[in-house]
Amino acid sequence: MPVLVMKFGGTSVATLDRIRRVAKRVGVEVANGYDVIVIVSAMSGKTNELVGWVNEISPLCDAREFDAVVSSGENVTAGLMALTLQEMDVPARSWQGWQVPVKTTNAHSSARIEEIPTENIRAKFAEGMRVAVVAGFQGISPEGRITTLGRGGSDTTAVAFAAAFEAERCDIYTDVDGVYTTDPRVSAKARKLDKIAFEEMLELASLGAKVLQTRSVELAMRYKVKLRVLSSFEEQSDTAGTLVCDEEEIMESNVVAGVAFSRDEAKMTLVSVADRPGIAANIFSALSDAGVNVDMIVQNIAEEGRTDMTWSCPTDHVARAQKAVENAKSEGVINYHEAIADLDVAKVSVVGIGMRSHTGVAAKMFQVLSAEGINIKVITTSEIKISVLIDRKYMELAVQALHDAFELEKAA
């Protein structure tokens, strides 16, 4: 039988009533002739509670034991889901990561999936099991210890299973009914997209859209897994949600697909850095070693052998970034006059595969922001994206103005 992967997030399985509702939806797909692999998250709020318990007992805890504790939320959900399906006379069995096994690296709390052998689950399907309920977010290290994949890891688990089992599709059920042109809470004109290209979704996810985890989109693009994002709280239909697919499957699309934003951005500048070969490598190696996630980078024109180096990073990475450059300066690796951090900025981006073949997007974006009196602090571009760093107080105004200017409320 064909395989379908269905993933349900924490809000979808937050209560026993919601688990029963989800189980009925799974039962419909079984009746449609699928062998179903259900990937479940922990019940809403449970992971935060488990993390809180760990931090209360041991703030600097053993990462292996941290993973053993926080992965337990998914195990509970998987067992409850399997029991609910059995009560509906649907042959189901729960699977923890080590039972599959989901083989990962040994980087606890941020492990990466290396292999998912299919033999065990396929054998059970052959024996009459119709639903495998798999605990998301977790796997097993080469040393045989439980690992976790990081926040949002259940999305990655679902796509990895869809790739391994060559599933017909991977449905990601969440508390929203699809991917929108921007956050509907910011712009009332936001429109749900019927389809979006992998590359566009990857950019939107990396730029702040929280519908899908970035790694899950990367996997889907690499293995050509069709993803459908839809709500577990609305009626199901063949046209529900948003399909994330190859660019070739989209007949017509707007030049700009969406406007993304991130509030939690900071701008850091090293003033008067020695302008010599290798200085950028030294700065960003120090930041990398400290685990700082650097995004936008700008270097000013050098004057008299000195230059300024600016980058953006998440606000919660600023302290470690400051420590990293201070240490590098004290060790003589880099030299600068002053390190300045601006914590009151936001990143706003326009994304669209249509930018490859259309000119004028950047000019229009900058004209719109100028007309609203919004100053641009940093600009970066890629083939299908333009991002700017602006004062945070103007973020919502910028998103609304750009959404209107590119007429994203209208379908292509």
Check if 3-249 and 259-405 are the same fold.
no
> Which structure tokens are listed for 9?
């997030």
Look at residue 266 in the predicted model and tell me its pLDDT: 95
211 has binding-site annotation: yes
Helix, strand, or coil (residue 347): strand
Look at residue 357 in the predicted model and tell me its pLDDT: 82
Residue identified by tokens 């007992």 is: 57
Look at residue 94 in the predicted model and tell me its pLDDT: 98
Mean pLDDT of all residues in 376-389: 92
Look at residue 246 in the predicted model and tell me its pLDDT: 86
Nearest to 260 by CA among 350, 184, 365, 186: 350
Strand-pair partners of 94:
133
Look at residue 54 in the predicted model and tell me its pLDDT: 92
User: Is the pLDDT at 307 greater than 70, yes or no?
Assistant: yes
d(CA 308, CA 327): 18
User: Is the pLDDT at 237 greater than 70, yes or no?
Assistant: no
Look at residue 249 in the predicted model and tell me its pLDDT: 80
Look at residue 208 in the predicted model and tell me its pLDDT: 61
161 has binding-site annotation: no
Residue identified by tokens 């990962």 is: 104
> Which structure tokens are listed for 331?
């060790």
- Contact assessment for residue 74 and residue 42, using Cβ atoms and an 8 Å cutoff: yes
Strand-pair partners of 349:
260, 387
pLDDT band at 238 (very low <50, low <70, confident <90, very high): low
Specify the pairing of strand 169-174 against strand 138-140: unpaired
Look at residue 176 in the predicted model and tell me its pLDDT: 81
Amino acid at 62: D
The sheet carrying 138-140 orders its strands as 113-115, 103-104, 138-140, 146-148
214 has binding-site annotation: no
Please state, rounded to an integer, the average pLDDT across all residues of the chain: 92
Note the residue count of the chain: 412
- Residue spans per domain, the chain: 3-249, 259-405
Measured between its terminal Cα atoms, the distance across the chain in Å is 37
Task: Specify the DSSP element, H or E, that contains 77.
Answer: helix 72-87
185 has binding-site annotation: yes
Q: Which residues contact 158 (CB under 8 A, 6 or more apart)?
A: 5, 6, 7, 39, 136, 170, 172, 216
8 has binding-site annotation: yes
pLDDT digit string, tens, across residues 42-78: 999 999 999 999 989 987 788 899 999 999 999 999 9
User: Is the pLDDT at 252 greater than 90, yes or no?
Assistant: no
User: Is the pLDDT at 4 greater than 70, yes or no?
Assistant: yes
Q: Which fold has domain 3-249?
A: Carbamate kinase (3.40.1160)
124 has binding-site annotation: no
- DSSP state, 194? S
Phi, psi of 329 (to 5 degrees): -70, -45
pLDDT digit string, tens, across residues 155-213: 999 999 999 999 999 999 988 888 899 988 899 899 989 999 999 998 888 776 667 88
Mean pLDDT of all residues in 80-96: 98
10 has binding-site annotation: yes
47 has binding-site annotation: yes
CA–CA distances in Å: residue 24 to residues 18, 59, 278 = 10, 41, 60
**Percent of the chain predicted with pLDDT > 90:** 71
User: Is the pLDDT at 273 greater than 80, yes or no?
Assistant: yes
pTM: 0.81
74 has binding-site annotation: yes
Specify the pairing of strand 3-8 against strand 169-174: parallel
Q: Of 1.10.274.10, 2.40.340.10, 3.40.50.300, 3.30.2130.10, which CATH number belongs to 259-405? A: 3.30.2130.10
User: Is the pLDDT at 301 greater than 80, yes or no?
Assistant: no
347 has binding-site annotation: no
pLDDT band at 29 (very low <50, low <70, confident <90, very high): very high
